[in-house]
Structure 1
């Protein structure tokens, strides 16, 4: 029996800021995880490639408000920092 992936524990080391900011990052990271898992069957961030996050930013958020896209970009950058990659993302 395997445990579900806990995004809160995964991001615990890199989350900073107010309680509301940390909760927003967690909520958005879970949304990103869910959509990538649904599209590519990659359940954990360790299995993700840069293309998965680029897809999320470019296609999943395509019709969203610029502010929403910006806040998701911040969360994606936080995920990349936690994964210790050199990936860069822009809008």
Structure 2
């Protein structure tokens, strides 16, 4: 059995800023990871392609208003 992918550990080396900012970025990355995994069964960022991230940005964020798309 393989271990589940840990997005927080994956991003730990590159995230800077306050604790709250880092937690927000990790939370956003986990949401992106879950949506891509559900749609294409790609569990880790190494398996993603540009089209996967573009799909998330175009289709999943289109449901949100302009003011809340970042969050």
TM-score (norm 2): 0.92
Secondary structure at the residue paired with 1:16? coil
What is the count of residue pairs matched by the alignment? 71
TM-score (norm 1): 0.73
Paired position in structure 1 for 2:29? 29
Give the CA RMSD over aligned residues.
Answer: 1.1
Segments ≥4 residues shifted beyond 6 Å: none
Which protein, 1 or 2, shows the higher relative CO under an 8 Å CA cutoff with sep ≥ 6?
1
Q: Is the 8 A contact 1:37 1:43 kept in 2?
A: yes
Paired position in structure 1 for 2:55? 55
Unaligned 5+ residue runs, structure 1? 72-91
Unaligned 5+ residue runs, structure 2? none
